[in-house]
Structure 1
Amino acid sequence: MADNASKVALVTGASRGIGREIALTLARSGVAVGLTARDSDALERVRRECEATGARAATATADVTRYDEVRSAVDTVRSALGSVDLLVNNAGRIEASEVPLWESDPDEWWAVVETDLRGPYLFCRAILPAMVDRRAGRIVNITSGAALKDSAIYSAYGVAKTALLRLTGSIVAGAGPAGVRAFDVAPGVVRTDMTGAMPTHRERTAWTPVEAVTSMIEAIASGRLDPLSGRYLRAGTDDLSDLLERADAIARDDARTLRLRPYGGDDPLA
């Protein structure tokens, strides 16, 4: 690993799906991995898989919406592996029913937002102070293409994933001068238990290979994508070499981030 590469990662929602694959990929690259989720048995299986690669691994069960459990999980991983210098906020959920907002269940709607937004916030809140003190660290917020377009049927998911982009921007604005990088990564549509259960994907035949996601996270962990901190990256679509060649222009144009689009040069908000 390069000197500035991440050495210890914490992956939320690591017991299955994309989170499991991210953890295994990081382990294979030599990163020590902390694994969090609610299913302790599934976490233990992933821990053994990670350790089989030769990497160190540790588990901590946590409900990502409960700050006491989040802090305890972070403390457990730190005690076992050392300071976390890469946080991957992967844990998430989506509405069970494809209905418009006015037919949604209020409790379920808010539960989606709590998992997909409050969860990443709480882990950032628990981990960022040490990153700022060390003047180094990386955070990946797993967002979605749903963050960039209106949806008639997944309003809670869209609200949470859009807000994650602003959360990432806030991290970069506040902690960027202290050497902390943050990234929004949209995984595309990977075949998982969640996407497989969604009626909207029932007829889907083309899926984003999970390797497109894991290779992007691995590149972030290596430090290769640091020039793109604060930007939205889409696995399976983006060519990382091309993005890096355009990094200066992306920064100059303030591209690949959440902004209001003016209607023209005479727009008073431009």
Structure 2
Amino acid sequence: MHDLGGQVALVTGASAGIGRHLAHGLAARGATVVGMARTADRLTAAMGEVAAATGARTLALPADVTDRAAVDDAVGRALAEVGAIDLLVNNAGLMDAAEMPVWQADPDAWWAVVESHVRGPQLMVAAVVPGMVERGTGRVVDLASGLSTRGGPIYTAYSVGKTGLMRLTEDLAAGLAGTGVHAFDVAPGVVRTAMSSGMSIHRDRTDWTEPEQVVEMVAAVAAGQLDAWSGRFLRVGVDDPAALAALTPGDDARQLRLRPYGDADPVA
């Protein structure tokens, strides 16, 4: 396992699901873990369980990532209590409550899902990244999805939000060039959680991604093993961190681009 001793990791959506697995896995590797989530009681219990199981220091900071004041307050408390943040994991995000085409969705509920995946990470980046740039080191992981790269008839708000987040990661990485700070899209595969188990597209699934695989990819990022892949899409369960570390991606590999219709396509 990568040794993350001395690092501080801030994980949003840390009270359950993939975020909870990441909090535990990063703590087990020696990191101090700051967990953020909306529900205070569940978050506090989760961070307490992580600390008891790993011996690592944890901090529970209840906050809604789409609330600017709440984010600024939580990050300020984290900096004051545990010090500089080395790793930011933007994991928190909502899923469409109903499986229906975009024109049938409630507009406000639809937009709330999109906001959770775009406004939330952008607010977290605005609060955390300036400190990383000032120190000349730090890494941001945005939890991507296979739905970041393709459309479909359902889960449209989630798809739009995750696609927006993927572009945000690329823009962030481009702006950070030369600063020593890096940003990554990490698609976790399909981990068996309450959310994924309730989705019709996974009803008959048997090949679930193991949570430890997600932790290992994020830990490899935190350890600096994959800095050459900043601004790009990494897929847990398909990509091997050690193999990626031996490669240097070229041009716009693993980034959102239009695919030309042919050699004569003027938009290519």
The superposition leaves residues 146-188 of structure 1 with CA deviations (integer Å, 9 ceiling, x where unpaired) of 0111111111111110111111111111112211100000011
Backbone CA RMSD of aligned residues? 1.8
Which residue of 2 is the match for residue 39 of structure 1? 39
What does 1:141-152 correspond to in 2, within 5 Å? 141-152=142-153
Further displaced range: 39-48 or 105-114? 39-48
SS at match of 2:267: coil
Query: What is the CA distance between 1:244 and its match in structure 2?
Result: 2.3
Q: How far, CA to CA, are the matches of 2:4 and 2:44 in structure 1? A: 29
Find the counterpart in structure 2 of residue 13 from structure 1.
Answer: 13
Partner of 2:182: 181
Q: CA deviation at 1:2?
A: 8.6
Residues 6, 221 of structure 1: 8 Å contact kept: no
Is the CA contact (8 Å cut-off) linking 1:136 and 1:178 kept in structure 2?
yes
State the Cα distance separating 1:225 from its structure 2 match.
1.2
TM-score where L is the length of structure 2: 0.94
The match for 1:85 is 86
When normalised by structure 1's length, the TM-score is 0.94
CA contact (8 A) 2:4 2:30 kept: no
Equivalent residue letter for 1:189: V
For 1:187 and 1:41, the matched residues in 2 are separated by: 26
1:66 matched residue in structure 2: 67
Conserved in 2, the CA contact under 8 Å of 1:26 and 1:218? yes
The Cα offsets for residues 209-258 of structure 1, whole Å up to 9 and x where unpaired, read as: 111111111111111111211110011111222222222xx2x2320111
SS at match of 1:88: strand
Match of 2:261 in 1: 263
Question: Alignment identity in percent?
Answer: 51
d(CA) in 2 for partners of 1:176 and 1:84? 19
**Distance between the aligned counterparts of 2:264 and 2:251, measured in 1?**
18
Determine the structure 1 residue equivalent to 2:199: 198
Give ranges in structure 1 of 5+ residues lacking alignment. Answer: none
- In the TM superposition, 1:101-116 aligns within 5 A as 101-116=102-117
C-alpha distance after superposition, 1:56-85 (max 9, x if no partner): 111110011100001111111111110111
Deviations 1:184-219 (A, max 9, x none): 000111111111122222222221111111111111
Moved over 3 A (4+): 1-6
